[in-house]
Amino acid sequence: MPRNGAGTARTLTYLTLMAVAFFSALPLYYSVVVASRDNSALADVPPPLVPGGNLVANIGRVFDTVPFALALFNSVLVAGGIAISVMFFSTLAGFAFAKLRFRGSRILLVITVATMMVPTQLGIIPLYLLMVKLEWTGSMYALVVPALTNAFGVFFMTQYLSRALPTELLEAGRVDGCSTWGLVWHVVLPAARPAAAVLGMLTFMSAWNDYFWPLVVLTPENPTVQVALSTLAAGYVSDYALSLAGTALGTLPLVIVFALLGKQVIGGIMQGAVKG
């Protein structure tokens, strides 16, 4: 008798989750439909629901309208550079917080976590003035340097290393006469690799998707992907086929990588969340 009730509940659970999955994927799917049509087809009633054959032509128009190749190059450079740097500095700091004893370590870790709640976006005007002083406006330095490390990464690696880095290994290294830096090089960095990879991926994604600060500090002539996309969307109000072709081009690589490595990324997000 309870079997039956449980069976219905199970079915309902699956149906609900399937509906949610459907609505999560639908807008992305439909963006491909629009991106692969020409604009006149979009006025049809009922609207087109399957992709057409205009994707390549629309993508060609994207490259004609904005410097998209440059944007892709800039975005790969910026997001890649930030990801590598965040992985490195977060592993160092995570190691110190997780395994080294030093005065004030606990309070410094608490401060680190607390800074995640500080709305730094509100300081954007002085930050911009600072970039003007440094003559970094319009340059990728303005994006990369402030993002070289962050609180989430430090906290994330601290969590991981305090669990996954065997203290015995560090002791053995000390007995062999390793300096602290030697320990980092020979023991910590290899042990940190799995978590650092996840952190790198999360960092790459958020740097790739970052919009407001690049919009403020860059010019349309030397944009990142997101800035180029917003130029497309702003200039061609009704040209949905064009702006969605650009969107697909700037988004789908990331979505595909995520779909392939999603399990690890999700594991990373959930690990970072516990004790948040």
Partner 1 sequence: MATRAPDNVAAIPPAPPVRSSPGTNRRHLVHRLDVKGSPYAYVAPFFLLFCAFGLFPLAYTAWVSLHEWTLLSDVHTFVGLDNFRTLLADDYFWNATFNTVSIGVFSTAPQLLLAIWLAHLLNRPLKAQTIFRVTLLLPNVTSVVAVVVIFSQLFGRDYGLINWVLSWFGAGAVDWNAGTATSHAAISVMIMWRWTGYNTLIFLAAMQAVPRELYEAATIDGASGFTQLRKITVPMIRPTIVFVVITSTIGAMQILAEPLLFGTYSLTGGPDRQYQTLALFIYENFTKLDFGYASAVSWMMFVFIVIVAAINYLLTRRTRGSLT
Instruction: Please list every residue from 11 through 30 that binds partner 1, using CB under 8 A.
Output: 13-14, 16-17, 20-21, 23-25, 27-28, 30
Q: What is the footprint of partner 1 within residues 199-258 (CB under 8 A)?
A: 205, 208-209, 211-212, 216, 225-226, 229-230, 233-234, 237, 240, 243-244, 247, 250-251, 254-255, 258
Shortest distance (Å) from residue 56 CB to partner 1: 20
Cβ nearer to partner 1, comparing 170 with 195: 170
Q: What is the footprint of partner 1 within residues 92-151 (CB under 8 A)?
A: 92-93, 95-97, 99-102, 105, 108, 112, 115-130, 132, 145-146, 148-151
170 binds partner 1 (CB under 8 A): yes
57 binds partner 1 (CB under 8 A): no
Residues 6+ apart with CB under 8 A from 161: 91, 94, 95, 98, 99, 188, 191, 192, 195
91, burial (CB in 10 Å: exposed 0-12, middle 13-18, buried 19+): buried
3-state secondary structure of 138: coil
3-state secondary structure of 185: helix
Contact pick of 4, 50, 53, 263 for partner 1 (by CB under 8 A): 263
Q: How many residues bind partner 1 (CB under 8 A)?
A: 102
Residue 170 CA to residue 188 CA, distance in Å, equals 8
8 A C-beta contact, residue 46 and residue 108: no
Q: What is the footprint of partner 1 within residues 61-80 (CB under 8 A)?
A: none
8 binds partner 1 (CB under 8 A): no
8 A C-beta contact, residue 69 and residue 77: no
Cβ nearer to partner 1, comparing 72 with 216: 216
What are the structure tokens assigned to 262, written together? 């999603």
Shortest distance (Å) from residue 53 CB to partner 1: 19
Shortest distance (Å) from residue 253 CB to partner 1: 11
8 A C-beta contact, residue 112 and residue 154: yes
Spacing of C-alpha 252 from chain mean position: 14
